[in-house]
Structure 1
Amino acid sequence: MSLADMLYSLTPSPPLLIGLVLVISLAESLALVGLLVPGVVLITTAASLAGHQDIALAWLIGAAFVGAVLGDSISFTLGFKHREQVTRRWPLSQHPEWLERGARFFKRYGVWSVFIGRFVGPVRPVIPLVAGMMRMPPNTFIWANISSAAIWAPAYLLPGYVLGRTWQHHFNLPPGIEAALLTLAAITVVLAVIFSWGRQQASRHGRLYRAIVVSIRRVPLLRRPWLAMSQTGDVPLASMLLLVLALGSLSGWTLLVISHQEPLIMDLFVQNLFVSLHSDSMYTLGNIFARIGDLLGIFVIVLPWGLWLLMAKRWDALLHIGGAFAGVAVLNIIGKGVFGRARPDTPDYLMGSFSYPSAHTSTAVVLCGLAAAFIAAELPRQKRFWAYWIALAFALPMALSRLMVGVHWFSDLVGGALLGLVVCALTLLHWQQQPRATLRPCPWPLLLLASLVLLSARVILLPPV
């Protein structure tokens, strides 16, 4: 079976696609679940696949309509019949501001809030729940629910459907490549959600943290070490779990890579995907991100912040950050030398350099991961997850740039990301051994501007390193 045939076999069947549209629409409209599920991205992708297969548009719109109506109806019923229980359950027990925002919206727009709220992202999954809790008349809610879903379903489906109908003609992709894009996007989103949710649960206010505390207190052998660690504040459980998971995953992944003389099947699969998407603009964009993520690019990004830490005499933060970058650089050099994996393509400026792990990826993960951790520590607990999502948004294109320019395999990027997470976890564990003074006040607008100016000069004036 050729690679194109294999990709084509991965494309969901028409009944399955219609079912997916219904489930995604239901999840997008369901109370609180819609805040965690990237419904717009998923439904656009599913509609694109359906358009490529020329599935009848009426079936898709009908499925989206039914899912939207069911999701809002379930949310309304939960709020109407189980008001007190819902507010005491996770995640509303930890994020009461979600309900407060929905309640303000409901009070402002009244009956129209259900209709309008379906099209307003931040309140969409909360408004039906709030409407039920506010005892909105069921008949009024039903009409608002049905009428808004009748408009919402085609409005959200049609752009993706049109994209699917024209996808093959404009990009000349092999059959089934849309399914590959959907799979890669889904894996990225799922991993990001798991990491964000897991870190929150491992914090002092999370369920995982409380469950571990209860368990350890019942074991005399573990109780004393835990109390000793707790004397300086919160036990850095999230960093410990990150180290264990990242180190174990890195070890297993490295064994998988070195056990194959040739590239992995997924490496060839992803390489074929990027070759299919190749264009001059993509190659230029890849080179820009490659320059941002190389040694000189990272240096100019960090330089203003390092100078500020130096002038502020925050030697502890400066040494930890510098040690993290030095550590990941040394580990990359050792890894490339030990494994000696050949690159898919080796331009002149990379002659003599090996492929595994990806230094660009590991360094980007260290930069974005540590920045997110330090920023999150200064934010209210309810807003900390934003720091990690923004860090992911910056690190991901720097890693993918290596695939755009064709100098790494996909498995190199995975290994580099895991290595970066190991270094982040080790750095944070050492940092969290004792209480630290806040890094505020920080002139972050000035420092950010300085980093952007230096980075622009690096990208425009100097060749890749």
Structure 2
Amino acid sequence: MHIQEWLETVPAIAVYLLVGGVIGLESLGIPLPGEIVLVSATLLAASQDHINPYVLGGCAVAGAIIGDSIGYLIGRKGGKPLLDWLGRKFPKHFGPHHVATAEKAFTKWGMWAVFVGRFIALLRIFAGPLAGVLKMPYWKFLIANVLGGIVWAGGTVALIYTVGKVAEEWIGKFSWLGLVAALLFGLGSFVVMRIKAKKASRESEATAGRSTEAEAVAAAE
């Protein structure tokens, strides 16, 4: 079967559910590659007419908002012990320095941390649960959550879909090249986000180390 024909057999509902589910679980606090799934699905929609980009964007927005809201409720009920448990289960994502970085962002930006966090890999996982743990008023959280979900998910779909359509005009006659290009583009976006997250993690560890050293010197004096 030709690759183009195979892609046409992928049920649109499966793509919608996958995108909404992965983004929802990531927003809830489970470290999943929501961004790469969204980018890849949008590029697929750009080459497959049976996948509606508006429905795809709607599912992504819904997953982001609902997932963040559930994460908020869990954080509100679980409190600090929840972060400690997550730190033991996912040390690479919820380690002490990750928590410290996220708490610092929330202290500095307040409800804007929820909105801005939608565009940052580390805060995207933390935003909902941490907002609940820190007892952020729900109305403030909801406003930032809804706006962040619409701008991030809707904006990503709009941008990537447009890019995908333009690219398809150039490589449309080579369907397998189109698939490879889509995968490489999605992978590249994921790698860039991972590099940024690791850089932020190293900077956080360095800051935490300096703070600990300063506290030790002050205590000695």
Q: TM-score, normalised by structure 1?
A: 0.35
Counterpart for residue 87 of structure 1: 83
Counterpart for residue 62 of structure 1: 58
* SS of corresponding position for 1:91: helix
What pairs with 1:237-256 in structure 2 (closer than 5 Å)? Answer: none
* SS of corresponding position for 1:107: helix
Counterpart for residue 44 of structure 1: 39
Change (3 A) 1:129 1:173: farther
Counterpart for residue 206 of structure 2: none
Unpaired stretches in structure 2, ≥5 consecutive residues: 188-200, 203-221
* SS of corresponding position for 1:26: helix
Counterpart for residue 143 of structure 1: 143
* SS of corresponding position for 2:87: coil
Counterpart for residue 158 of structure 2: 158
CA distance in 2, matches of 1:142, 1:110: 13
Which whole-Å deviations, capped at 9, do the CAs of 1:436-456 have from their partners, x for residues lacking one? Answer: xxxxxxxxxxxxxxxxxxxxx
Percentage of matched positions with identical amino acids: 26
CA distance in 1, matches of 2:75, 2:54: 32
Task: State which of 23, 26, 35 in structure 2 corresponds to 1:25.
Answer: 23
CA distance in 2, matches of 1:151, 1:103: 23
Which whole-Å deviations, capped at 9, do the CAs of 1:114-137 have from their partners, x for residues lacking one? Answer: 122212333221122211001112
CA distance in 2, matches of 1:185, 1:78: 34
* SS of corresponding position for 2:67: helix
Change (3 A) 1:124 1:172: same
Deviation, structure 1 residue 90: 4.0
CA distance in 2, matches of 1:157, 1:184: 17
Aligned length: 184
Q: TM-score, normalised by structure 2?
A: 0.70
Asked if the contact 1:7/1:177 (under 8 Å) is kept, the reply is no
Change (3 A) 1:151 1:49: same
CA distance in 2, matches of 1:115, 1:186: 23
Counterpart for residue 437 of structure 1: none
Counterpart for residue 8 of structure 1: 5
Which whole-Å deviations, capped at 9, do the CAs of 1:307-363 have from their partners, x for residues lacking one? Answer: xxxxxxxxxxxxxxxxxxxxxxxxxxxxxxxxxxxxxxxxxxxxxxxxxxxxxxxxx
Deviation, structure 1 residue 77: 1.5
CA distance in 2, matches of 1:120, 1:186: 16
CA distance in 1, matches of 2:185, 2:53: 24
Alignment root-mean-square deviation, CA: 3.0
What pairs with 1:434-445 in structure 2 (closer than 5 Å)? Answer: none
Deviation, structure 1 residue 141: 1.4
CA distance in 2, matches of 1:58, 1:119: 20
Unpaired stretches in structure 1, ≥5 consecutive residues: 188-381, 384-465
Task: State which of 61, 74, 80 in structure 2 corresponds to 1:78.
Answer: 74
